[in-house]
Amino acid sequence: MNLALLLPAALAALAALALPLLIHLARRSEQRPTDFAALRWLRQKPKPRHRIRFDEWPLLLLRLLLLALLALWLAQPVLYGSADRAHRVAVVPGGDAAALREAGLPADARWLWLAPGFPDFKDAPPPHAQPISSLLRQLDAELPADAALTVFVPAEIGGTDAQRPRLSRAVDWRVVAGTMPAQNPVPSPPLALSVRYSDQHASALRYLRAAAAAWRAPAAEPPPAAAPDSMVMPASTGISIAPAGQPIAAGARQLIWLAPGPLPAEIQRWIDGGGTALVDAQTTFAPVATMMPLWRGDDGAVLAEGAASGRGRLLRLTRALQPQAMPQLLEPDFPRRLRALFEPEPLPPGRVDAAAHAPLTGAAAYPQPPRDLQPWLALLIALLFAGERWLATRPRRAATP
């Protein structure tokens, strides 16, 4: 272990050590001699030479030590090489507990769950799947280079990356019977889409109705064959269609605006309040942040773009919703691409065979952060200050000569 100072220039504060010495010397001149008339005719004797001496040595030494520790505290002392090098045993939830008890590991090994914060193994296991690959890299970075690491994993794990993690140390990778808890993502709310259109865009509604029908569950009944343009589709489709003059429903979260000209102020306020709107290519609106491409055709041309607007999102089509301008309307993939503009894509599956996902070696070791000694110095300074005050104010303190 090595002691170092992050701010050695602060040791210049050691010059303050002269202050207690000067105070103790100045206090010796508090008594002044007074001449008496009856003694004025006595033969004057030479005054003895006084030696410099300090009274109350304990108090003086305590004050000098207190100032020295303050200067050291300002220099920010740290201690390198003090990291805990105990054997770590990380356990992925879902493994067979009997196999863990028969592991035959050192008695002083530290057991922990491979979960955020690396909780103690004695605590309850995490109930959900964890990002195994990311946690392994984090644990490897936080351990000293010479600390041993053993990882118990069930036969099938999730939360992995597309490749085996590469660490700075060889890991004792032990596969036991069991399966990780299933991923439990927060389900996204159902799509509540509203469509507001002008008469010149009424022909595009058939494609939106077809997309809504593709979103329905297989058991749902098919929509009517000939629905009026202003009707509200069944709730199972998650879409309502009405002319542009009709207000948006209170529970609507997504909107398709098919009307040329300026975007109405009430629609802009609805977007800024947290709504998501996909507007027509001929719709104009106030400038927003840089629009990012969200949907490209096979030729790379941008079909839809979007940007944040207040607490919501403003999306814009670059082409009219007509097969002549956007052939993608006739493709089977159109319902999924349209829905992806409003909802994020689902996460791909990430479960792998644990034996085939053992970490590789060869990564660079991370330097360990030093231990900060300032909190301990602050506690010692507080104790010394309390002792200095007691010595300076105690009732039996000797009078200064």
Rounded alpha-carbon distances, angstroms, from residue 158 to 96, 243, 357: 17, 48, 10
Query: What residue numbers bound the domain in which 308 lies?
Result: 193-342
Kindly state whether residue 51 falls inside one of the protein's structural domains: no
pLDDT at residue 217 tops 80: no
pLDDT of residue 280: 93
DSSP string, 204-228: GHHHHHHHHHHHS-TTSPPPPSS--
Are both 245 and 328 inside the same structural domain?
yes
Are both 256 and 332 inside the same structural domain?
yes
Taking only the tens place, the pLDDT of each residue in 112-169 is: 998 888 999 888 887 777 788 889 999 998 888 888 999 998 888 887 877 889 999 9
Are both 137 and 122 inside the same structural domain?
yes
pLDDT of residue 346: 60
Q: For 244-251, what is the mean pLDDT?
A: 83
Are both 138 and 200 inside the same structural domain?
no
DSSP string, 308-331: EETTEEEEEESS-SSTTT-GGGGS
Are both 285 and 226 inside the same structural domain?
yes
Q: How confident is the model at residue 221 (pLDDT cuts 50, 70, 90)?
A: very low
pLDDT at residue 24 tops 80: no
Cα–Cα distance for residue pair 333/310, rounded to 1 Å: 31
pLDDT at residue 356 tops 90: no
**Total number of domains in the chain:** 3
Kindly state whether residue 104 falls inside one of the protein's structural domains: yes
- The percent of residues in the chain predicted with pLDDT above 90, rounded, is 25
Are both 395 and 302 inside the same structural domain?
no
Q: Contact at 8 Å (CB) between 281 and 301?
A: no
Kindly state whether residue 171 falls inside one of the protein's structural domains: yes
Q: Contact at 8 Å (CB) between 20 and 352?
A: no
The residues, any chain, with a CB within 8 Å of residue 71's CB and separated by 6 or more, are 10, 11, 12, 13, 14, 16
pLDDT of residue 37: 63
Cα–Cα distance for residue pair 102/245, rounded to 1 Å: 72
Cα-to-chain-centroid distance, residue 142: 16
pLDDT at residue 248 tops 70: yes
Of 12-16, 43-47, 111-115, which has the strongest mean pLDDT? Answer: 111-115
Q: Contact at 8 Å (CB) between 155 and 176?
A: yes
Taking only the tens place, the pLDDT of each residue in 265-311 is: 999 999 998 899 999 999 999 887 788 999 999 888 999 999 999 88
Q: How confident is the model at residue 397 (pLDDT cuts 50, 70, 90)?
A: low
pLDDT at residue 232 tops 60: no
Are both 253 and 222 inside the same structural domain?
yes
Are both 294 and 336 inside the same structural domain?
yes
